[in-house]
Amino acid sequence: MKVIALINCTGIGYEDFKKDEIRELPKELAEKLINFGYAEKSTKK
């Protein structure tokens, strides 16, 4: 799932994830980041 970082964050599976950066992450991890407010689903391709 493509997500965009809302803040700078680092963790297992998303090291050095910078604000406004778009990454393809595993769905389970992406949903956790979205639920915690660290990222949102990206509509950009």
Q: Give the mean pLDDT of 11-17.
A: 91
If one counts the domains in the chain, the total is 1
* CA dist., res. 45 & res. 36, Å (int): 23
Structural domain boundaries, residue 25: 2-41
Which pTM does this prediction carry? 0.85
**pLDDT for 13:** 86
Q: What is the rounded average pLDDT for all residues in the chain? A: 94
Q: What is the CA radius of gyration of the chain?
A: 9
Residue type, 4: I
* CA dist., res. 3 & res. 21, Å (int): 8
Residue 44 has pLDDT above 80, yes or no: no
**pLDDT for 45:** 64
List the beta bridge partners of residue 41: 3
